[in-house]
Amino acid sequence: MSNLESAFPAQKTEKKVALITGANRGLGQQVAKELAGHGFIVLVGSRKLENAKEAVSEIGENTYPIAIDVTNKESILKAANQVNTEFGRLDVLVNNAGISHAGSSERSLEEILASGKASVADIDEMRAVWETNVFGLLAVTQAFLPLLHKAPSARIVNLSSGMASLNLNADPEYPYRGGFNVVYGAGKTAVNAITLALSIELESTNIRVEAASPGFAATAMNNFEGTETVEEASRNIVRAALGENDPSVLFSAPEGSFPW
């Protein structure tokens, strides 16, 4: 059975096709909703197809569920093959899937950040978070690059964070530097490095790559302790997907840009 349901072949649509990983809830689901509203065919990615179907039923028109586990090579390749069969190309890839920790869900955000400090971080937890946020992101990108090359003009949007900025966190006056750790923060710094490496490699092609921060959104990632709604936080991600941000900026912030 297909892991992408109710879709149709590329020759029957001129709409741009976007894939969003981890889009069954929270920020990813909101971005899917926004892009669908801009006329995209949106593939709502989730590890479990049932969860993607539920999200699609809530979002509605122009969205289709697809099973993709970014930590599973077979799942990634199956999804890429299905998109190739159904559409023959991909216009936008939003690497949204991510986790902030791999420990108890009962911990507060403060406890999660403290447990990720370099002196005490659990290496197994660090591996688990990086497996999704870093290695999974690159694995998905590699698998879908051939389809992105087939689009007239394609975009890769990697979800990042202000916590990833080495420049900001190196500044003693930066108020949030205490939250920089090796589990989540350094993982997003690695995402930025991958973004830059991809941008350099692809700069002469049809594919534009951008690391985009949503801001401090209240989602399950931070036990809903964020200060912005998912509607507010989705704006920069959507701008990046639409190509509306400053083309000279590779690491975008909700209000402009972040330094590396």
Catalytic residue among 16, 64, 78, 184: 184
Q: For the chain, where are the alpha helices, taking DSSP H only?
A: 26-37, 49-59, 73-86, 109-115, 123-130, 137-149, 166-169, 185-202, 230-242
184 labelled catalytic: yes
Name which of 19, 185, 28 is nearest 96 in CA terms.
28
Distance in angstroms (rounded) separating the CA atoms of residues 157 and 174? 26
Q: At what angle do helices 230-242 and 26-37 cross, to 10 degrees?
A: 50
- Could you confirm whether 176 is annotated as catalytic? no
Q: Give the 3-state secondary structure of residue 44.
A: strand
Closest residue by Cα to residue 182 from 224, 107, 123, 131: 123
First to last CA, the chain: 44
Task: Determine the distance from the C-alpha atom of residue 140 to the mean position of all C-alpha atoms in its chain, rounded to a whole number.
Answer: 10
Q: How many CA atoms lie within 13 A of 247 on its CB side?
A: 5
Q: Which of 33, 53, 78, 188 is catalytic?
A: 188
Catalytic residue positions?
A: 184, 188
